[in-house]
Amino acid sequence: QVQLVESGGGLVQAGGSLRLSCATSGRIFSSLTMGWFRQAPGKEREFVAVISWNGGSTYYADSVKGRFAISRDNAKNTVYLQMNSLKPEDTAVYYCNAARNVGGSWHPVFGSWGQGTQVTVSS
């Protein structure tokens, strides 16, 4: 079973930056497409970004394109999310999970989630 541990969130002013990390366990990490998802208060969890198993391909939600960058280090079983030019609407709990594309949309693979990391952007 893969464990997911997110970290790096915090309180930041609009326009600021944060770097999130997701440490995973399990030997299969390096073969997985990994993604970041987020859930704002009162809203459903939504897709943010995804990266292929070797880091060669990335894809972003329109709302974060050009501001966020996903990366990974397979030697460390870790995936990252660099978030720049943060906006108040980026406020959410951020989660990582393996990801798969179904019908043109990205969805989580694992049914269980980590604890997430809170990102709060003040205006």
Tens digit of each residue's pLDDT (9 = 90 or more) over 47-59:
999 999 999 999 9
Residue the block writes with tokens 């952007």: 121
What does the alpha-carbon distance between residue 53 and residue 47 come to, in Å, rounded to a whole number? Answer: 17
Q: Is the pLDDT of residue 83 over 80?
A: yes
Confidence tier at 45 by pLDDT (50, 70, 90): very high
Given this model, what pLDDT does residue 27 score?
78
Confidence tier at 79 by pLDDT (50, 70, 90): very high
Given this model, what pLDDT does residue 2 score?
79
Confidence tier at 25 by pLDDT (50, 70, 90): confident
What does the alpha-carbon distance between residue 105 and residue 100 come to, in Å, rounded to a whole number? Answer: 8
Average pLDDT, the chain: 96
What does the alpha-carbon distance between residue 48 and residue 53 come to, in Å, rounded to a whole number? Answer: 17
